[in-house]
Amino acid sequence: MSTQLPETETQEAEPETEQPSKGDERRAKRRRRAAERERERQAEEAERAREAEDTVQLKVFRYDPEVPEKEKPRFDEFHVPFTKGMTVLDALMYARDTYDSSLTFRHSCRQAICGSDALFVNGRQRLGCKTQIAELEEPIRVEPLPHQEVVKDLVVDMEHFYDQMEAVEPYFQTNSLPEGELDEQRQTRENREKVKMSTRCIWCGACMSSCNIAAGDNQYLGPAAINKAYRFAMDEREGEDIKQQRLEIIEQEHGVWRCQTQFSCTEVCPKDIPLTEHIQELKREAVKNNLKFW
Amino acid sequence: MYEHDVIVVGAGGAGLRAAIAAQEEGADVAIVTKLHPVRSHTGAAEGGINAALREGDSWEDHAYDTMKGSDYLADAPAVEALCTESPKETIQLEHWGMAFSRDEDGRVSQRPFGGLSFPRTTYAGAETGHQLLHTMYEQLVKRGIEVYDEWYATRLAVSDDERPEDRTCHGVVAYDIQSGEIAGFRARKGVVLATGGLGQVFDHTTNAVSNTGDGVAMAYRAGVPIEDMEFIQFHPTTLPSTGVLISEGVRGEGGILYNAEGERFMYEHGYANNAGELASRDVVSRAELTEVNEGRGIEDEYVHLDMRHLGEERIIDRLENILHLAEDFEGVDGLDEPMPVKPGQHYAMGGVETDENGETCVAGLYAAGECACASVHGANRLGGNALPELIVFGKRAGQHAAGRDLGTARIETGKRGEYEVGEVDTPVTPGEVTGREPGDVAADGGAAPDGGHEPDGSGARETRSDGGATAELTPDECVERAVTDERTRVDALMSRDGTNHANIRAEVQQSMTRFVNVFREEEGLKQALRDIRDAREAYQDVAVSDPSRTFNTDLIQTIETRNILDIAEAITLGALVRDEFRGAHWRKEHQERKDESWLKHTMLSWNDGTPEVWFRPVILEGEEKAYEPKIRSY
Ligand SMILES: Cc1cc2nc3c(=O)[nH]c(=O)nc-3n(C[C@H](O)[C@H](O)[C@H](O)COP(=O)(O)OP(=O)(O)OC[C@H]3O[C@@H](n4cnc5c(N)ncnc54)[C@H](O)[C@@H]3O)c2cc1C
Ligand code: SF4
Ligand code: FES
C-alpha cells in the first residue's frame, strides 16, 4: 500500500529502517500473508454474492482527489446479499466491510435522526438509512448529493449549508424572560403545534440539494435556513420586535422572495417538514409587515 | 498546535453544556468532535428528562427513586447533585427556547416513567433528545464558541508521572478527518471528555455507529481508573436488523409479546404473572432471550411485538412514530403485521471515574455524560435520568475546568489510601500484547507505555524506568510528544500490509453479544476473554488499505476498533469478577444480590497494559440523607 504523506517530518520517526531485525522481517511477512488472505476472502465473497440469487446490485459513485485510480470519477459495482428490511445504508456498509474498506460515506445513527447520510439514490435525495432496498429499482445508483462539492466518494462538503443555517440567527431570543430561574416562559399548545414541524429539521441538506434556485444562486438562504427562521419567527415567546428583526433577515435579497414554489424541497425532506408552505407563510408575513409601514 | 483554555472532546448534550458553562466562566473554549455537533447521538433520545419541577414532587423523592433504581450502587453525593440541579438546568433549556411539549396552562408537560414515584419526566414529544441537542447547539452558535468538527481525538497528552494521581493532562491529539492533518490541542486549563456511549462493543445496539467508547478507552490507557463497566443496560424492544429502539410506550399502550408458537409468553411461561409485558426492562429482556434459546423464537432470533389490536386510530394518535420506525427500518407495516423485536445494548452505566464535579484523578482531566461514571446510575439506570446527567454534570465539569471553585468533592478519585484489590481468574492474560516494538502498530492512545519511544525516536523512554523521577516536560512538549506518537502510529497503520479491522471488530462484537449479554455464565465470560485475546493478537497485523489522507474512514474505524477491544475486555473482566446479581448484571451461578460483599464499585486500572481490578465502597450517605439498601421491587 502506498502512503501519501503531506508532512515529511513523520518519516523520521520510522523505526530502524536500515537494518531490519529478524523479528521485523517475520512480522512483515506475517502481515503480507494476512493481507493476502484478506484479498482472497474479499474476492471469494464477491464471487459468492455475484452467483447468489438474492443479491442487490449497487452502482456507487467513486472519487478521491488523492488517489490516482480514483481521480477520475467513476462508478463501482457491488453485489450485496439481500436481507429483509435492508436499507441502502446497510448495503453500503456491507460493501465497505466486505469488499472495499476505502468506500467512504458519512453515517452514524442509522435511524434518520443525525442527518449525516443524505445521498442521491436512483435520482432522488434520500437518507440512506431510511430507504428500503426492496422499494428501489435495480441497479441502485448511489451518488453524493448534487450541487455540493464532493470531498470523496459519497461525502460532500457541508460548509456552505452550515453557513446558510447560521446566517439566520438560529437561536432563541426574547426580551421577556421570567424572573425566577424556575419559572417557565409559558407557551400555548397551539403555538407549540405551529412550530413543531419546523423544529424537526436534522440538517441533512437534502432540501438544499434538490432546490434549483439554490443551485443557481449561491447566496440564496435555502429552504432549511428559512425553515429555521420560521421556527423562531412563529414562536410567540420571542416577541414582536425580535420577529421584526427576523423578518428583515428573511426578506433580504437572497431570502424568501427567491423561492419559486417548486416544492422539490418539500418532496425530498425526510422529516416531512412542509418547507414550501413555511416559506410561503413567511412571504405573507413579510408583506403584512411592509404594509404596516406604508 | 492549537491552544485554548478548555478543550471539550465531544459535542453531544454533555459536551455542549460543558462548553457553554466554561465560556460563561470566562474561559476561551473550543470543542473537538468527530461528528458535527447536531449529528451526535443525544439527538436519538426519545423519552425525556427527569426533573422535580412540580408541587407534590421533590428532589429528595427523585434521589430516593434513583438510589433504589440503581440497586444501591450509585454514590449519594452524585445523585444529590443530579436531583437538586436538574430542575434549574431543565428550565434553563426552556429559557433557551427548547420546544417542550406543553400543558393546557402553557407549562412544560411531564409524564410517568418506569421506576419513578412521580410523573417527573419532562419531554418534547418522542424527540426530546433531538430538541435538546439542537437547542444547545443554537446557544453555541449564539456565543460563537469554536468547534473543530470532523476532528477525531485519538490520544490524551498526559504527563508521565509514575502514579496517575500525580499526572496532569495538557491537551489532546486529534486528526482532521477531511484533510488528514494530525495536530495537538493544548488546553491551558482543562480537557473535558464527553464522547458518549460505547454500544458498538456489541453487534446489536440502539447506539449510533460512532459510539465506540473512544473517551473511556483513551482515559483508561492514560491511567484513569474506569468504574462499573460490567453494568450494561439492555432494552427489550429493538428492531432485529438495525437495533433501532421501539419505545416502551408500545407496551405501555397495551402491545403484546408473542413467541413463534403464538403464545403470550410473559404470562404463559410465567416470567411475570402480574406485570406481563410491562415488567422491568431486564425481566422482559431475559424472558425474550429464554424463548429464543429454548427454540420458541422466530427465525431463532426474535419475538413478535403486536399492536394491531389497539386499532388504527389509537396507534396513529399515540404511536405514530413507531409505525414509521418499523416501516423505514424493518420494512414492516405495524398496522398489518406484528413487529419483530429483540433485546439490544442500550446504555453504559459505567465509564471514566469522576467525582461529583466531573474531575478525574488526573489533574486537568474531566469527563461528563455517558462516557463518565460519577456515579448516578449504579447497577441500573432509570429511563429519563441520562439527559439530566448530561446537563448537570456537563455544566459542572465545564465550570470546574474553567477554574471555578466548586468546593471539595465528597467522592474520591484515583487509588488514594487503602483500597481492596480484586482477584479474577482469567483463562488468558488480559491487556496489551507484550513485546511491542516502538512505532509498531501502537494503536494506542494513552500515555506511552514503557518501551514507548523518546521524542528523538531512539526507543525506550527515560522517565518511568528510573522509579518515577520524571523528566519534566513542559506542557507544550508533552502535547508535541503525543502528536509525534500519534503520527508514528498512523504512518505505521497506513504504510504496511495486513488485515482489515472489520473482521476483528465483528468478531469481538459477536462474542460480546453471545457471552456478555443479558445472560452471563462463568464459562461464557471466559470464552469472551479468549476471543478478545485472539482479536488483540489479530490486531497486531491490522493495516489500513485506503491510501488516502482525505476523509479516511478506514483509518478512523481501525483506531476505533482498538478502543472497542479494550472496552470489551474491561466489561468482561468486570462481569467475571462480580459474582452476584445486581441491576442489569445477571450471573447464572449467582442469582442473588450480595450486599455484604458487593456494595462496592468495580474499578479497573490499565496499569501500563496490565489491567488491575480493585474496589471502592459505594457511598450511600448523602448530605442530608442516608439510603438503606432495600429489596428492589415495584
Ligand atoms: C435510542 C436512545 C434513546 C434514549 N432515550 C433516552 C431518554 O429518553 N432519556 C434519557 O435520559 N436518556 C436517553 N438515552 C440515553 C442518552 O440519550 C445518552 O446517554 C446521551 O445522549 C449521551 O450523551 P453524550 O453527550 O454523553 O454523548 P453523545 O450525544 O453520544 O455525544 C458524543 C460526542 O462525542 C463525540 N466523539 C466521540 N468520540 C470522539 C472522538 N474520539 N473524538 C472526537 N469526538 C468524539 C461525538 O462526535 C459526539 O459529538 C437514550 C439513548 C439512546 C441510544
Ligand atoms: S428541512 Fe428537511 S431536507 Fe432540509 S435539511 Fe432539514 S430535514 Fe433535511
Ligand atoms: S445515519 Fe443518521 S440519518 Fe441516516
The pTM of this model reads 0.94
CA distance B567 to B563: 6
Work out how many CB contacts closer than 8 A connect A with B. Answer: 251
**Three cell numbers at A112?**
434518520
Contact B559, B441 (CB under 8 A): no
Is position B453 annotated as part of the catalytic site? no
Residue nearest to atom 20 of ligand 1 (CA): B42
Phi-psi region of B73 (alpha: psi -120 to 50; beta: other; left: phi over 0): alpha
Contact B10, B195 (CB under 8 A): yes
Neighbours of B275 (CB within 10 A): 15
Binding site membership of B248 for ligand 1 (Cβ less than 6 Å):
no
SS (H, E, C) B256-269: EEECCCCCCHHHHC
Q: What is residue A12's predicted lDDT score, i.e. its pLDDT?
A: 41
CA of B390 to the centre of ligand 1 (A): 9
The DSSP bridge pattern shows strands A140-143 and A55-62 to be: parallel
Rg (Cα) of chain A, in Å, rounded? 25
C-alpha distance from A18 to closest chain B C-alpha (Å): 14
Q: Which residues pair with B151 in a beta bridge?
A: B176
Which of B101, B331, B551 lies nearest to residue A192, judging by beta carbons? B101
CA of A9 to the centre of ligand 3 (A): 38
Neighbours of A157 (CB within 10 A): 14
Closest to B72 measured CA to CA, from B624, B594, B570:
B594
**Three cell numbers at B286?**
431475559
**Alpha helix positions (H), B418-552:** 475-495, 501-515, 522-539
Q: What is residue A294's predicted lDDT score, i.e. its pLDDT?
A: 36
Which of A34, A86, A171 lies nearest to residue B142, judging by beta carbons? A171
CB contact under 8 A, B102 and A129: no
* Per-residue pLDDT at A2 exceeds 60: no
Question: Which residue type sits at B439?
Answer: G
Cis preceding-peptide flag for B375 (omega within 30 of 0):
yes
CA of A203 to the centre of ligand 2 (A): 5
Residues 6+ apart with CB under 8 A from A206: A118, A125, A126, A127, A145, A265, A268, A269, A270
Residues 6+ apart with CB under 8 A from A138: A56, A57
Ligand 1 atom closest to the CA of B46, numbered from 1: 8
Calculate the alpha carbon distances from B470 to B416, B444, B479 in Å: 20, 21, 16
Ligand 3 atom closest to the CA of A114, numbered from 1: 2
Contact B228, B378 (CB under 8 A): yes
- Chain B CB contacts of A44 under 8 Å are none
**Three cell numbers at A178?**
421570567
* Per-residue pLDDT at A126 exceeds 60: yes
Q: What is residue A16's predicted lDDT score, i.e. its pLDDT?
A: 44
CB contact under 8 A, A1 and B544: yes
Is position B251 annotated as part of the catalytic site? yes
CA distance A110 to A270: 13
CA distance B25 to B190: 13
Calculate the alpha carbon distances from B85 to A67, B46, B386 in Å: 53, 22, 14
CA distance B442 to A13: 13
Closest to B615 measured CA to CA, from B629, B625, B600, B605:
B600
Q: What is residue B445's predicted lDDT score, i.e. its pLDDT?
A: 43
CA angle B142, A272, A119 (to 5 degrees): 80
CA distance A144 to A126: 10
Which of A15, A23, A112 lies nearest to residue B328, judging by beta carbons? A112
pLDDT digits (tens, 9 = 90+) for B436-459: 554 454 445 444 444 343 333 333
Q: Which residues pair with A132 in a beta bridge?
A: A87
Phi-psi region of B87 (alpha: psi -120 to 50; beta: other; left: phi over 0): alpha
* Per-residue pLDDT at A281 exceeds 60: yes
Beta strands per DSSP E along B505-605: 600-605
**What SS3 class is residue A81?**
strand
CB contact under 8 A, B550 and A37: no
CA distance B75 to B617: 9
- Chain A CB contacts of B243 under 8 Å are 110
Closest to B13 measured CA to CA, from B374, B350, B368, B384:
B368
What spatial distance separates the first Cα and last Cα of chain A, rounded to whole Å? 70
- Chain A CB contacts of B491 under 8 Å are 3, 5, 10-11, 13-14
Q: What is residue B454's predicted lDDT score, i.e. its pLDDT?
A: 39
Ligand 3 atom closest to the CA of A107, numbered from 1: 1
**Three cell numbers at B367?**
469527563
Pick the catalytic residue from B41, B130, B155, B251.
Answer: B251
Residue nearest to atom 6 of ligand 2 (CA): A201
Contact B363, B403 (CB under 8 A): no
pLDDT confidence band for A23 (50 / 70 / 90): confident
CB contact under 8 A, B99 and A195: yes
CA of B158 to the centre of ligand 1 (A): 25
pLDDT digits (tens, 9 = 90+) for B468-519: 445 679 999 999 999 999 999 999 999 999 999 999 999 999 999 999 999 9
The mean of the pLDDT values for chain A is: 90
The torsion angle over the Cα atoms of residues B53, B55, B56 and B62, rounded to 10 degrees, is 10
Strand order in the sheet with B121-122: B49-50, B121-122, B110-111
**Three cell numbers at A184?**
417557565
**What SS3 class is residue B274?**
coil
Interface with B, mutate which of A7, A9, A111, A149 (most B CBs under 10 A): A111
Residues 6+ apart with CB under 8 A from B11: B19, B31, B33, B35, B36, B37, B40, B137, B147, B149, B194
CA distance A280 to A257: 9
Closest to A166 measured CA to CA, from B148, B4, B128, B143:
B143
One DSSP character per residue, A211-238 reads -HHHHH-TT---HHHHHHHHHHHT-GGG
Closest to B155 measured CA to CA, from B167, B130, B172:
B172
Q: At what angle do helices B76-95 and B128-143 cross, to 10 degrees?
A: 70
C-alpha distance from A109 to closest chain B C-alpha (Å): 4
C-alpha distance from B159 to closest chain A C-alpha (Å): 21
Q: Scan for cell 456515579, then name that residue.
A: B375
CA of A227 to the centre of ligand 2 (A): 9
Which of A38, A113, A232 lies nearest to residue B499, judging by beta carbons? A38
Blockwise average pLDDT, block size 10, chain B, 634 residues:
98 98 98 98 93 97 95 97 98 97 94 87 92 98 98 96 96 97 98 98 96 98 97 95 86 91 95 85 90 95 96 84 88 94 97 98 98 96 95 98 96 93 95 65 44 38 41 90 93 93 97 96 98 95 95 97 97 98 94 96 94 97 89 74
Rg (Cα) of chain B, in Å, rounded? 23
Ligand 3 atom closest to the CA of A106, numbered from 1: 1
Name which of A84-88, A113-117, B166-170, B296-300 the model is least confident about.
A84-88
- Chain A CB contacts of B498 under 8 Å are 31, 34-35, 38
pLDDT confidence band for A293 (50 / 70 / 90): very low
* Per-residue pLDDT at A10 exceeds 90: no
